[in-house]
Structure 1
Amino acid sequence: MAEDHVSEVVPLVIMAIGLGMDAFSVSLGIGMQWLRLKRIAWIGIIIGIFHVIMPFIGIALGQVVSNQIGHYTQFVGGLLLAGIGAQMFFFAFNHEVKKISQPVGAGLIFLAFTVSIDSFSVGLSLGISGVKTALTLFLFGSISTILTWLGMMLGRKVKGVLGAYSELLGGSILFSFGIYLLFG
């Protein structure tokens, strides 16, 4: 019984880390600006909330789609994850796209939406495959919040060494899970 829970939670944790890597890498850049700890906490919470909302919408739509396409669900979910992972991997070094605005007000909302948009697509594929929604949303939200905080705190110290490499790692993780769904 405990093995079933572990075999279900471990892939979700790894997937949440993969999704949170985008927020982590952007947070490294944000952390290079001088921010108060209260602002850092707030930014992490907002990004975490978006990493709950976006996959929730995706999971809900995925469950609707799952009822429509039945036995193709695992194949479609695998294709979506592999595609998202490949996109994250190949666009990791596109420096023109990542111009960071100030993380306040509408800029913070836009930032949170931008770094969580990939979790919508992942949520869609997970909804198709019938994942446990509450557990998934908790893991995605909490791990992205923690990775955002970590990124901003490290950004204060590191000044941008890891940026694109963390996105490469996140894209590789999602791509691997997509391939696993397709062929595993």
Structure 2
Amino acid sequence: MEWSLVFFVNSTLLGVGLAMDAFSVSLANGLHEPRMKQGRMARIAGVFAGFQAAMPLLGWLCVRTVLEWFSAFEQFIPWIALLLLGYIGGKMLLEGIRGGEEAEPPALGMKALLVQGVATSIDALSVGFTISEYGLVMALVCAAIIAAVTFVICMAGLQLGKTFGTKLAGKASVLGGVILIGIGIEIFLTSL
């Protein structure tokens, strides 16, 4: 593919498609932490954007170097996403059920955020196949566009989650946990 409007439109649409899981998780994070500050929101969206950019590049690299290994790994992607999101969602669900009416829910830790980043972007590894004909510079630009789109979409998800989280008070963690588990199941089922 050459530099063209089609390249930029395709990269943007790829970003929108890949960001939907991260949007849902951002929504759940906003529900879980309704008093989240803008700087924290930007860091969370940045983590998701970074993973959404890195995974297609990793897939691109795999296609160009170790195709056989990646093909063997691809069958495990839905299982990994299901386990990671199920674990985090289950933990949030239990905290919401046990915690009752907590005044301030605990903030999302960096470890949990990184797990969410991997879980929501691991399916983006396969995007490396679709961009495998790109040169390095085009692959990097495509990844940057995907990251920018993901960042904007995740910021919107966090803001929506915060808005509804404030209104839902104590039940936000339960709803967030259910959303994360649902996303994990959806990723798993759509890849079968």
TM over 0.5: yes
Percent identity over the alignment is 14
1:121 alignment partner in structure 2: 122
C-alpha contact (below 8 Å) 2:93/2:175 kept by paired residues: no
C-alpha contact (below 8 Å) 2:86/2:180 kept by paired residues: no
Structure 1, unpaired ranges of 5+? 180-184
Cα-to-partner distance string for 1:154-183 (whole Å, 9 max, x where unaligned): 11111215222211332244234433xxxx
Task: Work out which of the two has the higher radius of gyration on C-alpha atoms and give 1 or 2.
Answer: 2
C-alpha contact (below 8 Å) 1:88/1:167 kept by paired residues: no
Looking at structure 2, the residues matched to 10 and 43 of structure 1 have their Cα atoms a distance apart, in angstroms, of: 26
2:180 alignment partner in structure 1: 167
2:152 alignment partner in structure 1: 142
Looking at structure 1, the residues matched to 50 and 29 of structure 2 have their Cα atoms a distance apart, in angstroms, of: 19
- Say how many residue pairs are matched: 168
Secondary structure, aligned partner of 2:180: helix
Cα-to-partner distance string for 1:74-113 (whole Å, 9 max, x where unaligned): 7854x3542244225643323489796446xxx5x55643
- Measured on the aligned residues, the alpha-carbon RMSD in Å equals 3.7
* TM-score, scaled to structure 2: 0.64
Looking at structure 2, the residues matched to 157 and 145 of structure 1 have their Cα atoms a distance apart, in angstroms, of: 19
Cα-to-partner distance string for 1:51-92 (whole Å, 9 max, x where unaligned): 121222222222111113448867854x35422442256433
* TM-score, scaled to structure 1: 0.66
1:182 alignment partner in structure 2: none
C-alpha contact (below 8 Å) 2:54/2:143 kept by paired residues: no
Looking at structure 2, the residues matched to 13 and 72 of structure 1 have their Cα atoms a distance apart, in angstroms, of: 28
Letter aligned with residue 174 of structure 1: I
